[in-house]
């Protein structure tokens, strides 16, 4: 009890202004930065809880992409004989499944995050964007484990990293941003309309086939490829596969269009999320 009586020093010269909601875009990045520790704790809690609740824990994290890879290799590869740009089918599918599964899992996590934390939201302030952000970040751990497995596969198939591999972090960041952009929309939508989360499994399923996971994007006619790029995750998946394996043409235009699409979705997502944020504490 001794520390309570110490006089305080105003080292942190904070002052905040409270005003009615105004303007379209009020994302206060310095503030989000000030709350980085809470962001860390949200991610930390998510991970702790997730790995405690699943009995097989880490095994599941490894098993999920592996099984998906096996199914894809068997059906799309061996049976349907999809072109794989000269890559062994397991590598071809696994390199795409890794970012895709990260994206799909992040969407599901992000969608529920605002509603799941409604108790906290109505009792304590923090920048609400931290919630979808933490959902998207906590998925990265699974991604990391999956990535280690990928390295093993590369070694097994004698695939040597190329210069393009240096771009992997860039595509990873793009993947995070994509998941965050879509996650902002879905978490806000789900906070307002409670039935959104039932739509997510279908959304994810359709989205999978609209993305170059089971097939290379070169299957899409050249003319329409820019349109195909509007699918924000298309650029990420294709770019990731290219950066890892270094095979084929760099998907420059596709990635560029996807990146622009991500940016638009992100800005729209922030605006929409803020509109939700302003009323959510009153309606939850």
Partner 1 sequence: MSDTAIRIEGISKQYSRGKREKYLALRDVLTEALRFPRRIFQKKREPEAGEENEYFWALDDVSLEVKQGDIVGLIGRNGAGKTTLLKILTRITRPTRGRARVVGRVGSLLEVGTGFHPELTGRENVFFYGSILGMRKREIEAKFDEIVDFSGTEGFLDTPLKHYSTGMQSRLAFSVAAHLEPEVLLVDEVLAVGDLEFQRKCLGRMEKTAQGGRTVILVSHQLNQIRRLCKKVVWLDQGKIRMAGPPLEVAGAYEAALLAREDGGRVLPSGAVAKVRGLYWELEEEKPGNPHVLKSVGPVTAKFSVEINKPLNMVHAGLSLHSPENQLLWGTAHNIDSLKPGVYEFVYRLDSIPLKPGAYRWRLCIFDENSILEYWDCSPDMLIDVEPLGHLDEQWAGILNFPSEFALYDESRKQPDTRIVRGRIWTTVRFR
Residues that bind partner 1 (CB under 8 A): 1, 3-8, 10, 12, 14-21, 37-38, 40-41, 44-45, 48-49, 52-53, 117, 119-126, 189, 192-196, 199, 278, 281-283
Smallest gap from residue 131 Cβ to partner 1 (A): 12
Smallest gap from residue 129 Cβ to partner 1 (A): 14
Give the CA dihedral 143, 146, 151, 155, nearest 10 degrees.
-160
Complex with partner 1: residue 187 or 258, whichever CB lies closer: 187
CB atoms closer than 10 angstroms to residue 257 = 21
User: Given the structure tokens 């999809």, which residue do they identify?
Assistant: 82
Complex with partner 1: residue 7 or 221, whichever CB lies closer: 7
CB burial of residue 155 (10 Å; 0-12, 13-18, 19+): exposed
* Whether the Cβ atoms of residue 104 and residue 13 lie closer than 8 Å to each other: no
Cα-based distances in Å from 221 to 9, 134, 218, 224, 251:
66, 38, 7, 6, 14
Smallest gap from residue 115 Cβ to partner 1 (A): 10
Complex with partner 1: residue 19 or 56, whichever CB lies closer: 19
Complex with partner 1: residue 44 or 156, whichever CB lies closer: 44
Smallest gap from residue 194 Cβ to partner 1 (A): 5
Complex with partner 1: residue 51 or 156, whichever CB lies closer: 51
Complex with partner 1: residue 53 or 249, whichever CB lies closer: 53
d(CA 270, CA 263): 11
User: Could you tell me which of 172, 109, 106, 113 has the C-alpha nearest to residue 144?
Assistant: 172
d(CA 152, CA 165): 15
Complex with partner 1: residue 48 or 253, whichever CB lies closer: 48
Smallest gap from residue 143 Cβ to partner 1 (A): 23
Buried b (16+ CB within 10 A) or exposed e, 56-74: eeeeebeeebbebbeebbe
Smallest gap from residue 276 Cβ to partner 1 (A): 12
Give the CA dihedral 147, 152, 157, 161, nearest 10 degrees.
60
């Amino acid at each position: 009890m001794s520390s309570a009586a110490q006089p305080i020093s105003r080292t942190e010269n904070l002052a905040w202004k409270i005003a009615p909601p105004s303007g379209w875009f009020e994302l206060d990045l310095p503030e989000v930065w000030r709350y980085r520790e809470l962001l860390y704790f949200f991610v930390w809690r998510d991970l702790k809880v997730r790995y405690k609740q699943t009995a097989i824990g880490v095994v599941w994290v490894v098993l999920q992409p592996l099984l998906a890879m096996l199914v894809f290799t068997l059906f799309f590869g061996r049976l349907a004989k999809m072109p794989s740009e000269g890559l062994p089918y397991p590598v071809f599918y696994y390199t795409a499944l890794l970012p895709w599964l990260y994206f799909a899992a992040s969407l599901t996590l992000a969608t529920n995050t605002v509603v799941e934390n409604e108790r906290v939201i109505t009792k304590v302030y923090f920048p609400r964007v931290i919630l979808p952000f933490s959902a998207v970040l906590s998925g990265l751990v699974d991604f990391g484990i999956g990535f280690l497995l990928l390295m093993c596969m590369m070694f097994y198939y004698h695939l040597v990293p190329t210069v393009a591999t240096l771009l992997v972090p860039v595509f990873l960041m793009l993947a995070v941003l994509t998941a965050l952009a879509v996650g902002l929309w879905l978490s806000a939508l789900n906070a307002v309309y409670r039935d959104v989360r039932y739509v997510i499994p279908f959304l994810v399923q359709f989205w999978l086939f609209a993305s170059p996971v089971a097939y290379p994007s070169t299957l899409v006619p050249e003319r329409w490829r820019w349109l195909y790029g509007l699918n924000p995750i298309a650029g990420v998946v294709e770019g990731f596969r290219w950066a890892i394996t270094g095979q084929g043409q760099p998907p420059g235009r596709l990635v560029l269009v996807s990146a622009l699409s991500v940016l638009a979705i992100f800005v729209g997502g922030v605006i929409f999320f803020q509109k939700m944020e302003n009323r959510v504490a009153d309606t939850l």
